[in-house]
Amino acid sequence: MDEASLHHADDDLLAEFGQVLREQTGQDAVCDDRIPGYRLERELHRGGQGVVLAAYQQTTKRNVAIKLLLDGALASDADRARFVREIELAAQLRHPSIVTVHESGKTQQGRQYISMELVDGSRFDAFVEEHFHADGLPTEAQCREIVRLYLAVCDAIEYAHRRGVIHRDIKPGNVMVTDDGRPVVLDFGIAKAAGSERGTTKTGDFLGTLSYAAPEQLGGSPDLIDTRADVYALGVMLYEALTGTRPSGGQDLSIAEAIRNVTQNDARRASSINPAVSRDLDAVLRKALERNPAQRYQTAGQLRDELKRAISGQPVRAREHERAYLARKYVVRHRVGILVGAGLLSLVLIASGFGVQSMIKARQASRFADVAGSLVTPIAGIDFETATPVEEVRDLEGLLDQISVDVGERLDRYPRYEAPLRSTIGLAYLGMRKLEKAEHELREALRLWQSIPRANPVALASAHHDLGRVLWWRAEYDEAELEYRQALRIRSSHLGPEHIETARSIHHLAATLQGKGAFNESEHLWLEAIRIRRKVLPADHADIPNTLVGYGSFLHEVGRHREASDLYAEALGQISEISGEQDWRTARTAHGLGICLIDLGEYQAARTLLDQAIAVKLVHGDEPDTIRTRVAIAQLDLLEEHDLGNALASVSACVERLEARFGLEHPNTGEALVLEARLLLALDRPEDAEASARLAMAAFESRWSDRSWRMGQALGVLAQSLIEQGRAQEAVEPAARSRAILMDVRDAGDRVRRESEDRATRLGLLSPTRP
């Protein structure tokens, strides 16, 4: 075309667009709207909920972006109130990669608007397209660059999550990259406040939004959506940036389908689309894109840290189950570290000139022990006693394995050196909840101490105590009891009956006896531990409320819920004072109080506490502790008949994780199984409920006193499931046993007892006239 006809064609196009744009304008009339104090300049973006305009704020003389919500985005007064609250929260966020919200208000025509920092730059996807996709898919180096850029996005989301703000609508359109390469996340909290864009029929964002939504966002109620939905969306965006494609595959799952499909994950490996994507990044993406939120990274911070590891050649947790992989990583990364750490220790020794085994003298052994000790000590520096397992520690498992082997080879004739090392290694394993390995090391340590003539009795006592701890974790309460009694006897006679270490053993022995159902002595010991700790420790020492929590769990266990909740409340006050609101100890105590309140029927308060607890615990990863809170929340859901399908999915996932960690025959698993059975009953699936109840009973029977009230509960659920299958005759025996146990337990939750009575009545075990 020559210039004149081109010009003419432009005008035709202009006219055509003019008509279309005028029609569109006529529809929403946003263009005539005004905001006092601002000059609205031009449209930057138009989406399902609103229009973003560039504007000039006259008072502050700055350019800003104005988001105008279209009519209908906020349907009810409640929506509007929530919107304002969310905006207030978002306005408090201060992070270099989060857009600054200046203010919000109403336009002349009554539309809600938000005024925020005008970010000069391009949309994330356009930026990536321009910088990294220009010559085909990104290269390996470019992938690393994209990830590096992306770390800031993850960091921003993590920052917001820690302040209780979930984004809920992370997508390329909501992330800008400034001209100097800084990503900025937009629209915090707005998605939630203004309702999802799903179902809006305006052109544009509908489709984009859906592709980044996590399965649980598509499947069910908005209550399901937590920080992990944001993690999912972060995964989708990064996947797209690295491969130019969105992870395909099913996302539109109902809850029921989701339960069936949790194990499936059909996102194609990113590396199959772009071979420059490393296997580590592949694994990280897959974990971020897990359908089941419980399997995903739990926080944006975890994702960020993993991405960091992936681009710096450190082992990623997403692949930690691949043993060969870990070994390789260590060899590559710790060439020097390993040299000192393990086989290398032997090299050091041999290289120091004594090729002949017999010549390795005690002095060298001692040197070896020093080196090995100095390696292990930093790991042991973590507070394993009260143990929040630390994320970083896990990657060290391989290193510990090596050290363990080497210690055995090099020091086997020097028990004095080997014993403390074994203890340290064992405690490190215990901190990682690698129970089998921990038990092995700690048994070995104890054996060594016992083999040493005139060994330091205090050290021997610690060896007993430490072995007791791992046995307690494995719910081997009888054996744990023996070890703790030994430790207590030695500590009491060598350190004194009121020594702090003695109190520690008393505390642990009390917990053990509680575990096996020896409630009388357990209570006596709990009170003794509290007495000693109060006497010898400063008033604000964390061990005091710690013991209160232990006794609280005892009271709860034996059904004295009111006393338990009072004690927990006291401990919660002290702990949050000492450790702060965000500390995991505070969270654990909030959990304890929460589950007491459940049994007292105070559901609302319980939910508040459990929500608090889970928020903090999630930051600490998917530990058994977190799972217990999840289970408790699911229990609340059951009692309040709140989205049972989801509660079931959550509990079933918990059972799986508990089984993986503790085995099926463990009371922790049993507890979750009982709840699973109850949910199945509520969902009218008595056959499945029966199976879960029987598994739960097996769990309790194997290690617990069969008179515990949990066993009573399991029996009750079993009886109920049999009744509902029309097998009343078979139900008689478990119902009778259940009732006998529950009647025996002093004020076991009224509800549980009432259920048991009802059942007994229906089966003719009781006369219906009984009050």
Partner 1 sequence: MLDLTRTTTALLQGLHDVDNAEAWASFYGRYVPIMIGVARRLGLSEADAQDAAQETLATFVKEYRENKYDRDRGRLRSWLLTILRTRVAGQYRARAVRKEQQGVTFVGGVPDEKTTSDAWDVERRRTILLQAIDELRKVSKTSDQSVHIFEMLARDNRSAQDVADELGLTAQDVYRAKSRVAQRLREVVTKIESVYDAEE
Token digits of residue 722:
């049999």
Range in contact with partner 1 (rule: CB under 8 A) among 20-28, 583-591, 725-733, 739-747: 20-28
Binding mask 169-188 for partner 1 (x = CB under 8 A): ---xx--x--x---------
Is residue 14 a contact residue for partner 1 (CB under 8 A)? Answer: yes
The Cα-based distances of 245 to 147, 212, 213, 238 in angstroms read 16, 12, 15, 10
Is residue 46 a contact residue for partner 1 (CB under 8 A)? Answer: yes
Is residue 201 a contact residue for partner 1 (CB under 8 A)? Answer: yes
Q: How far is the CB of 19 from partner 1 (least distance, A)?
A: 9
Range in contact with partner 1 (rule: CB under 8 A) among 205-213, 334-342, 389-397, 729-737: 205-213
The residues near 3 (Cβ < 8 Å, ≥ 6 apart) are none
- Nearest residue (CB) to partner 1, 129 versus 665: 129
Q: How far is the CB of 122 from partner 1 (least distance, A)?
A: 5
CA–CA distance, 507 with 585 (Å, rounded to integer): 17
The Cα-based distances of 229 to 170, 173, 190, 281 in angstroms read 9, 17, 15, 19
Backbone angles phi, psi at 64, to 5 degrees: -135, 170
Positions of E strands within 101-174: 101-106, 112-117, 121-123
Is residue 25 a contact residue for partner 1 (CB under 8 A)? Answer: yes
Is residue 750 a contact residue for partner 1 (CB under 8 A)? Answer: no
Q: How far is the CB of 596 from partner 1 (least distance, A)?
A: 42
- Cβ pair 299, 619 in contact under 8 A: yes
Is residue 81 a contact residue for partner 1 (CB under 8 A)? Answer: no
Is residue 495 a contact residue for partner 1 (CB under 8 A)? Answer: no
Q: How far is the CB of 205 from partner 1 (least distance, A)?
A: 9
Q: How far is the CB of 232 from partner 1 (least distance, A)?
A: 13
Among 79, 129, 611, 706, the residue binding partner 1 under the rule CB under 8 A is 129
Among 207, 324, 359, 539, the residue binding partner 1 under the rule CB under 8 A is 207
Q: Name the pairing type of β-strands 112-117 and 101-106.
A: antiparallel
Among 206, 269, 611, 694, the residue binding partner 1 under the rule CB under 8 A is 206
Among 253, 571, 677, 679, the residue binding partner 1 under the rule CB under 8 A is 253
Query: What pairs with residue 45 in β-bridges?
Result: 52
Is residue 223 a contact residue for partner 1 (CB under 8 A)? Answer: no
Residue owning tokens 């290269």: 139
- Cβ pair 156, 185 in contact under 8 A: yes
Is residue 249 a contact residue for partner 1 (CB under 8 A)? Answer: yes
Report the Cα–Cα distance between both ends of the chain, in Å, rounded: 97
Backbone angles phi, psi at 370, to 5 degrees: -60, -50
Is residue 137 a contact residue for partner 1 (CB under 8 A)? Answer: no
- Nearest residue (CB) to partner 1, 6 versus 351: 6
- Site size toward partner 1, by CB under 8 A: 55
CA–CA distance, 288 with 226 (Å, rounded to integer): 14
Token digits of residue 590:
């909030």
Is residue 24 a contact residue for partner 1 (CB under 8 A)? Answer: yes
Q: Which of residues 391-410 bind partner 1 (CB under 8 A)?
A: none
- Nearest residue (CB) to partner 1, 45 versus 762: 45
Range in contact with partner 1 (rule: CB under 8 A) among 87-95, 121-129, 374-382, 417-425: 121-129
What b/e string do you get for 660-678 counting C-beta neighbours within 10 Å, with b at 16 or more?
Answer: ebbebbbbbbbbbbbbbbb
Q: How many CB atoms lie within 10 A of CB 744?
A: 12
Q: Which of residues 53-72 bind partner 1 (CB under 8 A)?
A: 54
The residues near 630 (Cβ < 8 Å, ≥ 6 apart) are 294, 614, 650, 651, 654
- Nearest residue (CB) to partner 1, 129 versus 724: 129
The residues near 431 (Cβ < 8 Å, ≥ 6 apart) are 379, 382, 384, 387, 389, 390, 393
Contacts by 320-325, CB closer than 8 A, 24 or more apart: 320/394, 320/395, 320/397
Binding residues for partner 1 (CB under 8 A): 6-7, 9-10, 13-18, 20-25, 41-46, 54, 118-123, 125-126, 129, 172-173, 176, 179, 201-204, 206-208, 210-211, 218, 245-246, 248-253, 257
